[in-house]
Chains A and B, each alone.
Chain A
Amino acid sequence: MAVYERNYRRYTGDLTAEFDRILVFPRYAYEQILRSRLFQRFMTLCLVWSFVLACLLYIPHNLGFIKAFQLDPEVVSRTFANFFTAKWFFNWFMLPAGFMAMILTFVVGPVLVTSDIRNNGLALYFSRPVTRSEYVLGKSLVLIILLSVITWIPGLLLFGFQSYLEGLDWMKDNYRVAVGIFVGCWIWILVLSLISLALSAYVKWKPAARLSLFLIFFVAGGMASVINLMLRTDWGSVINITDMMHVIWASLFGIEPLTTTPLWVAFLSPLLFCGVCLVLLARKLRPYEIVR
């Protein structure tokens, strides 16, 4: 009989926190993404837009600027007193930020899981102390962090900046703007992340995955209108995720939405999309594809 000596010693030191380990996924994904010049330019554009808005907020409070244009500071102050409202933030920040987030998802999303599946890399990930949910969270973080940088983080900074310029009363009167930016952006980020992850898991060819994303966001809108018209219902709108997000954001900001879709139907839409995406991910993200 063979004699086996157990002469090695296992590592007994401290381990890093669980969340730290999940952050390994986005860290290496960023290395790839940040190399892309298209990405760099687009990110710059997104951040420049926030900077432009910050300038717009600042200009009415800059006496030197007002005087340079030979304007009366009092008239300017009165004119802009009710200018930077929830509606301004909705139209000038939320809608462009949401659109830019969608474009960024088109660029980054389709590559997240595809390469792991195509190269049979899932077995390597799942033979670590990582569960499937942690893997999904890790991969989603790639988009969550990037989209946060161009949506709610600059949004809240703008809100904070305007509060600083206008004072505490403005902040109290317009607290819905901050809530709207934060909650609205997070819902949108989650929807975008999960849809792009699910597509990335199923559609292995990048251009096809991008096209599928496009179909979901734009063509589904057309289909929703057709369903609503033909069946004389509002339920078709559930598949028009962009319109539904518009309704949700409008309600969060306390402004009138463009469509008459009931709010609960609007909230059902992202829930439905997220649920379907999670089911699809749970079915697809297995270390070995079981072919029957």
Chain B
Amino acid sequence: MTDPTRTRDQDIVFDNVSKFYGEVLGVNRVHLTIPPGITSLVGPNGSGKTTIMNLVTGLLHPSQGNVTILGLRPDQPEQLFRHVGYCTQYDSFPRGFTGHEFLYSYLRVHGYDHPTATTMTQRSLERVGLSQAANRRIAAYSKGMRQRVKLAQAVCHGPSVLVLDEPLNGLDPMAREEMITVFRELATEGKHVIISSHILHEVDFISGQVILLNEGYVVAEGNIRNVRSEMEEHPLQILVRCDRPAALASRVFEQDGVVEARIDKDLDGLLIKTRDANSFYLAFNRIVLDNDFKIQVVAPADEDVDAVYQYLISGRKDEA
């Protein structure tokens, strides 16, 4: 994930970070550099996702190692929280507050005067599509609206790092789509958007970068395709749909690195497993041209977060 042109002051950096809750391991020996854009934290329950988020927001302090957020240490709340916005997974709203009051009060805690806080509140509610409901009590909001007002309170003070703990939980597909659009807008503004989620296909859809966690350890991090290509023990699966799958299977099977070529009736095509995807694609082009195959689809079948999760986390659990 590291871009050599970037400095540590522009990123979120975990330097050999461990967090123990007494004898219980939260996370262990984490080295991470999180650049701007959307980064998803993925892992089973208890894998350390929320611990990582709490370390970024300074709500927990590492037992060992250092965390810096845009060059700031989490034990400097006055500076840090000008740059960090946090959306918890819990619905915790002061009783009787309207959406406007909820945001406005937190902005006053941030130190903005009345006119500035009012403007920022309105702008933030507008951004998440809650302007119409601003003066309604949060208790009367739907689940989707409550998620949106939580996102609004996280972004209202214009932070450059957003930590969103399961922000898509409980949302219907339309609301999810709207929230994802907001995340993308924030990411294109150059903000660090860190999201934790259990919904793997959405993680794939939302984020360029993932951090896979299991039992307190980072098992993989980076662009999901790069992570997948480095998993040599699991050959990459490529789905090909063409006019003569049996003939194509016999040709590709002659190539080095191809370990399996199977005609899959469920997928309506040929499923090829290769250990060297780049060489395979080069050879595949030649085979197709030489033999005049009519190709309809060539697509990686297991180059997504779901597959990587299965191989790195579920698979290991099964083996154990």
Residues of chain A at the chain B interface (Cβ within 8 Å): 1-2, 4-11, 13-16, 18, 20-21, 24-25, 28, 31-32, 115-116, 119-121, 123-131, 287-288, 290-292
Contacts and interface: CB of A to CB of B under 8 A. Distances in A.
Given A8-B191, A115-B94, A16 B113 contact: yes
B253 interface: no
Interface string B76-103: 0111111011101011111111000100
Contact of A123 (B23, B90, B109, B113): B90
B160 interface: yes
Contacts of A9: 158
Given A32-B96, A129-B77, A5 B188 contact: yes
B90 A120 contact: yes
A124 B92 contact: yes
A170 to B, nearest CB: 45
A139 B111 CA distance: 17
Q: Which of A10, A120, A128 has the most CB of B within 10 A?
A: A128
A127 B81 contact: yes
20 contacts: A4-B190, A7-B189, A7-B190, A8-B158, A8-B190, A13-B116, A15-B110, A116-B92, A119-B91, A121-B92, A124-B106, A127-B58, A127-B86, A128-B106, A130-B77, A287-B54, A290-B22, A291-B21, A292-B23, A292-B24
A20 B37 contact: no
Given A15-B111, A292-B23, A4 B105 contact: no
A126 B24 CA distance: 24
Given A8-B158, A18-B111, A287-B54, 13 more contacts: A2-B208, A4-B190, A11-B158, A16-B113, A21-B111, A119-B93, A123-B86, A123-B88, A127-B57, A129-B81, A129-B109, A288-B50, A288-B54
Contacts of B58: 126-127
Nearest to B81: A129
A116 B92 CA distance: 8
Contacts, number: 129
A120 B158 contact: no
Contacts of A288: 50, 54, 59-60
A4 B109 contact: no
B3 interface: yes
B78 A129 contact: yes
Q: Which of A14, A115, A288 has the most CB of B within 10 A?
A: A288
Contact of B111 (A5, A8, A20, A290): A20
Nearest to B192: A4
B36 to A, nearest CB: 4
B297 to A, nearest CB: 27
Nearest to B106: A128
B146 interface: no
A16 B21 contact: no
A287 B59 contact: yes
B90 A292 contact: no
